[in-house]
Chain A
Amino acid sequence: GQQVMQIPQYQHVQEGEDFTTYCNSSTTLSNIQWYKQRPGGHPVFLIQLVKSGEVKKQKRLTFQFGEAKKNSSLHITATQTTDVGTYFCAGYSFGNYQLIWGAGTKLIIKP
């Protein structure tokens, strides 16, 4: 079945360093969504990418969708303590109602 792989599982950074998480799908996606889940919380929608090669920015966050629509990335510049949490990618394949989720990348700020 369709799978979405997300790496790394964890990333420890010093506050102010950058963070990147990558997603790869086994099949071509119609679109991909990114969510953030704070510790003890529920997933919160960040953004949706639809077009091949699309790049979107939200302040310090940059989201990319690959040309083949099979991979995506999220890059955070100059991390802050408020960025702590787990970042999930989730993709739809064509004609499918089911959102397939990656396992998430946990962003940990080193004390």
Chain B
Amino acid sequence: DTGVSQNPRHKITKRGQNVTFRCDPISEHNRLYWYRQTLGQGPEFLTYFQNEAQLEKSRLLSDRFSAERPKGSFSTLEIQRTEQGDSAMYLCASSFGQGYPYEQYFGPGTRLTVT
């Protein structure tokens, strides 16, 4: 078990470009979460998958953001038409559980800089 991995670790892009991030959760974990974190703040929930089903999405998330988890394994987060305000650390976390919330294991994050 190598833990949660995320790629790339850093991404610099120009405003208006599309970016895609990948998260590989711990293999037996059925739950996967995406968060965004800016300096001095706690992680902000973006979306949640249980297996391949996207069960919850933040109302704060614009339609420029989309996430997938095909086959209930890895997940991708795409941001279209990036804006400078999208600059942040994007964290992925996974956990195991059916109903009761368990602890979340975080990946190292992808730091996005939009210029």
A43 interface neighbour in B43, B50, B56, B101, Cβ under 8 Å: B43
Could you say which of A31, A97, A101 contacts B44, with CB atoms under 8 Å apart? A101
Contacts of A101 in B (CB 8 A): 42-45
Alpha-carbon separation in the docked complex, A88 to B105 (Å): 14
Count A-B pairs with CB separation below 8 Å.
Answer: 55
Q: Is the CB of A98 within 8 A of B106?
A: no
Chain B interface residue number, banded: 20 to 34
B23 within 8 A of A: no
Residues of A within 8 A of B26 (CB): none
B42 touches A90 (CB 8 A): yes
Q: Considering the complex, give the chain B residue whose CB is closest to the CB of A42.
A: B106
Q: A31-B101, A97-B56 are in contact. Are A42 and B42 (CB under 8 A)?
A: no
Q: How far is the CB of A29 from chain B (nearest CB, A)?
A: 11
A42 to B35, CA, bound (A): 11
- Whether the Cβ atoms of B55 and A45 lie closer than 8 Å is no
Q: Which of A31, A99, A100 contacts B104 (CB 8 A)?
A: A99
Q: Is B108 an interface residue (CB 8 A)?
A: yes
Interfacial chain A residues near B103, Cβ < 8 Å = 33, 45, 48
Which residues does chain B contribute within 8 Å of A41, judged by CB atoms? Answer: 108
Contacts of A103 in B (CB 8 A): 40-42
Task: Say yes or no: B109 contacts A42, CB within 8 Å.
Answer: yes
